[in-house]
Amino acid sequence: MSREEEVTRILAVGLRRVLGRLSVDFDRLEEIRLRVGQPFMVVCGGKKNFVSEEGEFCPAGEAHQVTLAEIAETMDYISSYSRYAFEEKIRQGFLTIQGGHRVGLCGRTVMEEGRVRTISPITFLNIRIAREIPGCSGRVVPFLWERGQLCDTLILSPPGLGKTTLLRDIIRALSDGTKEQACMVGVVDERSELAACCQGVPQNDLGSRTDVLDGCPKAEGMMMLVRTMAPQVIAVDEVGSEEDCRAMEYVMNCGCRLLATAHASSLEELGLRPVFGRWLSERRFGRYVLIEREREDIFYRVCGKDGLTLWRGRRNER
Amino acid sequence: MMRAVGMAMIVVACGGLGFRQALLYSRRIKEGEQVARSVQLLLSEIRFRRLPLEEALKRVGTVEKSSFSSFLGRVAVRLSGCDGGSFYAIWSEELDEYLRQSLLGDEAELLWYLGQELGQFDLETQLGTLVRFLEQWRMRIEELKAQEEKKGRLYRYLGVFAGFFLVILLM
């Protein structure tokens, strides 16, 4: 199934028709946003566009208005008519569909004992289209090594710039690396975005020396991997909670190298967060990779443990 | 001589009809048991593997070999098509088709109710729906079984005696 099919098949029939008429190449789409009673929106190259019934970009007033029925139908397809099977994910506000595309959910939250029990009705959806860009890490990976040792690395960017895409390609590069540099990689894929597992089988290529723990909470997963799979490198996406940080500390202190991503647009911003601020001053990470957008281009910046830039270059779209 | 053969044939034919009716009754019970087995499997797939309906129905359709499990398999295929329509609409269309060739009687109404509730709400409600269906379904099957011996015998006797009655009338 192509990426276009993976995404369009989960849309309500009416929305599918509108998207099918879209004059823009599907590969350029980054997000599809559905908001009840609001215009149908797609994000291309960082730009937000409203789409008319004819599939043309247009002002908000002329765009196709998304209905509650269309969102409900889309949710039926996303959840295979089985919300019960995705209770925990809905509680967390997202679902991952076949192909690793993430669907963010909003609406009315139902609380129980001070915790979110579910979201019902769901009235806002953000479908983020996952992209595999094989080789995008090609010029980054050599900078992640120092004296023959892989450095603990943190990938940073604001949402939507491709942290997961870059992490996935680094994992693949390390796992399939040359004889001297190939690593056993353990991946904790809590949101099923890295490997896009279907019934435990990865749909994305993560390399031949990679083990994937799919759908497992990151902190618990990191400990499980260390104890059971003897990885040389552990990779996790979007860390941030205190629990995650404790598990990361454990991993870094037990001989494994860590690859992780986090939300931040600069090292200064990262330093404002309690644990990361301490780690920055203690120089716990050997490398930081920052992802930056300049107009429509994406740039990677590799920094050393002291925060100084070692290399900066445009993302390799090969 | 020919007359005697004709009379014997009438008795045999009517008796055969009675036996056939009794056989259909026991086949209906067998089909009911197959439904219970498939729904039990569906319940296990959802309880232990947390599978969404499409995959759970597909698995039951593959593992079990019966007309009911084939019906579940067809529902799974329709769900995977994402071609519009609610779960109940798809379930109803396929159930209609299935019941046209099925031997199930009044108990089939439970299957319509099941379709209305599948896929709704949370896991707890979902499992509760399936457990409740199974309880009610098994109760109906037990009732059918209790009646089987009585009704089976009745159909068989009725067939044979109707044959004799016809013969007497014709004489």
Rounded to whole angstroms, the Cα distance separating B147 from A229 reads 60
In this structure, is residue A136 part of a structural domain?
Answer: no
Q: Which residue matches tokens 């019941």?
A: B99
Q: CB count, 10 Å around CB of A141?
A: 18
What DSSP assignment string belongs to B46-97? HHHH---HHHHHHHHHHH--SHHHHHHHHHHHHHHHT-SS-HHHHHHHHHHH
User: What share of chain A has pLDDT > 90, as a percent?
Assistant: 58
**Mean pLDDT of all residues belonging to chain A:** 90
Q: DSSP label at A276?
A: H
Domain final residue, candidates A82, A107, A128: A128
pLDDT band at A201 (very low <50, low <70, confident <90, very high): confident
Window 78-97 of A: residues touching B by CB (8 A cutoff) are 79-87
Residues A65 and A183 both lie in one domain: no
Contacts of A73 in chain B (CB under 8 A): 84
Each residue of A131-149: pLDDT tens digit?
Answer: 888 889 999 999 999 988 9
Residues A97 and A145 both lie in one domain: no
Cβ-Cβ contacts under 8 Å for B48 (sequence gap 6 or more): none
Check CB contact of A61 with chain B, cutoff 8 Å: no
**CB-closest option in B54, B86, B126 to A84:** B126
- How many structural domains is chain A composed of? 2
Across the A/B interface, how many CB contacts are shorter than 8 Å?
52
Q: Domains of chain B: which residue ranges? A: 2-170
Residue range(s) defining the domain that contains residue A37? 3-128
pLDDT band at B74 (very low <50, low <70, confident <90, very high): very high
User: What share of chain B has pLDDT > 90, as a percent?
Assistant: 35
Q: Which residue matches tokens 């003897």?
A: A230
Q: Where are the beta strands (DSSP E) in A190-269?
A: 210-214, 233-236, 257-263
Q: DSSP label at A26?
A: G
Instruction: Please give the model's pTM, rounded to 2 decimal places.
Output: 0.75
3-state SS assignment for residue A184: coil
In this structure, is residue A135 part of a structural domain?
Answer: no
CATH code for the domain in which residue A24 is found: 3.30.450.90
Each residue of A180-192: pLDDT tens digit?
Answer: 678 999 999 998 8
Residue among A283, A296, A277, A216 nearest A252 (CA): A283
What DSSP assignment string belongs to A119-160? EEEEEEEEEEPP---TTTTTTTGGGGEETTEEPPEEEEESTT
Cis peptide, bond prior to residue A121, ω within 30 of zero = yes
Tokens of B75: 């529902």
- What number is the average pLDDT over the span A75-103? 88
Check CB contact of A73 with chain B, cutoff 8 Å: yes
Residues A74 and A204 both lie in one domain: no
Rounded to whole angstroms, the Cα distance separating A308 from A31 reads 33
Domain final residue, candidates A128, A161, A189: A128
**CB-closest option in A10, A12, A79 to B52:** A79
- At residue B158, the pLDDT reads 80
- At residue A317, the pLDDT reads 58
- What number is the average pLDDT over the span A211-223? 93
Measure in Å the smallest separation between the Cα of A119 and chain B Cα atoms.
11
Integer-rounded Cα Rg, in Å, for chain A is: 20
CATH code for the domain in which residue A207 is found: 3.40.50.300
pLDDT band at B23 (very low <50, low <70, confident <90, very high): confident
- At residue B147, the pLDDT reads 81
**Mean pLDDT of all residues belonging to chain B:** 86
Q: Taking the CA atoms of A260, A264, A266 and A269 in sequence, report the sign of the dihedral they define.
A: negative
What letter represents residue A18's amino acid?
A: V
Long-range contacts of B162-169 (CB under 8 A, 24+ apart): B162/B14, B162/B17, B162/B18, B163/B10, B163/B11, B163/B12, B163/B13, B163/B14, B163/B15, B164/B11, B166/B10, B166/B14, B167/B7, B167/B10, B167/B11
pLDDT band at A179 (very low <50, low <70, confident <90, very high): low
In this structure, is residue A65 part of a structural domain?
Answer: yes
Ramachandran angles phi, psi of A294, nearest 5°: -125, 110
Check CB contact of B117 with chain A, cutoff 8 Å: no
More confident residue, B131 or B151: B131
- At residue A180, the pLDDT reads 67
